[in-house]
Amino acid sequence: MSDSPATTHGAQESANAADPANSANAAAPADSAHPEHPPYLLHHFESAGQQADAAGFAMWLFLLTEVMFFSGLFTAYLIYRNWYYTAFVAGSHQLSVVLGATNTVVLIISSFTMAMAVWCSRTGRRRELTLCLTLTFLLGLGFLGVKSVEYREKFENHHVPGRHYSLQSFLYPQSDPKIFAEYHDRPLPLDEARHTEVYFSLYFLMTGMHAAHMVIGLGILGFMILRARAGAYTAGHATFVENFGLYWHFIDIVWIYLFALLYLISRH
């Protein structure tokens, strides 16, 4: 007769009790099924490298959609500039090259501080990372401050498209002595002067969308500064900082194109 199930089970328990190593080996596969992983590694990724690759790929896809969006704006601007060239040149004279160049320098410096923040994150320098992120944040605020000065001038001169848009600066250039002394613009015919409103419509649309991206970036930067002060991003996980750096550099590149198109090209 064969042993009963109860007898067999009791014998197995006795063997395990007599041989602790055998019991440990039996439990080993269960422990190895859930290996330890860093706290930043999401459960659906096998490794931190796979997670970083997926996040980077998603970021580049997002930036591709941004490129297509701003490319549409640039294309529209170039088409209308070709159609209404004289009006667009006259409109560009109302912009301050000094303020535009100042903002360009500010953003270039902010790109450097952002690149340094990525380096500090990779090398585990918490204090330096917080400093670089804070400097980038302050430079971004400075950019928006300069842009607000430009916008205020446009409101004061009634160059905001809409019911209160004024053609005086283009029909009677002498009414703006500062601009007239620099460019000696000739009075535009009424039909051409009306096309300057198209220029300022594109100006506010393009620079406004860029400023909106800046505001979003500053919001994310503020969150990152708080997290960096708490010790995040320096424990071998720099993916978030790296991807945000790509976003920030993209914003800077867009502004360089805006500065060239709106402020510099064919001013004379």
Tens digit of each residue's pLDDT, the chain (268 residues):
444 444 444 444 444 444 544 444 444 444 444 456 555 554 455 555 565 666 678 889 999 999 999 999 999 999 999 999 999 999 999 999 999 999 999 999 999 999 999 999 989 899 999 999 999 999 999 999 999 999 999 999 899 999 889 999 899 888 888 888 888 888 999 989 999 999 999 999 999 999 999 999 999 999 999 999 988 888 767 888 999 999 999 999 999 999 999 998 876 5
User: Where do the H-state alpha helices sit in the chain?
Assistant: 5-18, 20-32, 48-83, 85-92, 97-123, 126-156, 168-171, 177-183, 190-194, 196-229, 239-258
Amino acid in position 229 = R
Instruction: Report the C-alpha gap between 151 and 205 in whole angstroms.
Output: 12
Residue 160 has a pLDDT of 92
169 CB-near residues (< 8 Å, 6+ apart)? 94, 157, 159, 175, 176, 179
Q: pTM of the entire structure?
A: 0.79
Query: Please, are residues 51 and 44 in contact by the beta-carbon 8 Å criterion?
Result: no
Q: Hey, how many other C-beta atoms are within 10 angstroms of the C-beta on 156?
A: 9
Segments of the chain assigned to CATH 1.20.120.80: 49-264
CATH tag, 49-264: 1.20.120.80
Residue 35 has a pLDDT of 53
CA of residue 8 relative to chain centroid, distance = 68
Query: Please, are residues 137 and 109 in contact by the beta-carbon 8 Å criterion?
Result: no
Under DSSP, the state recorded for 207 is H
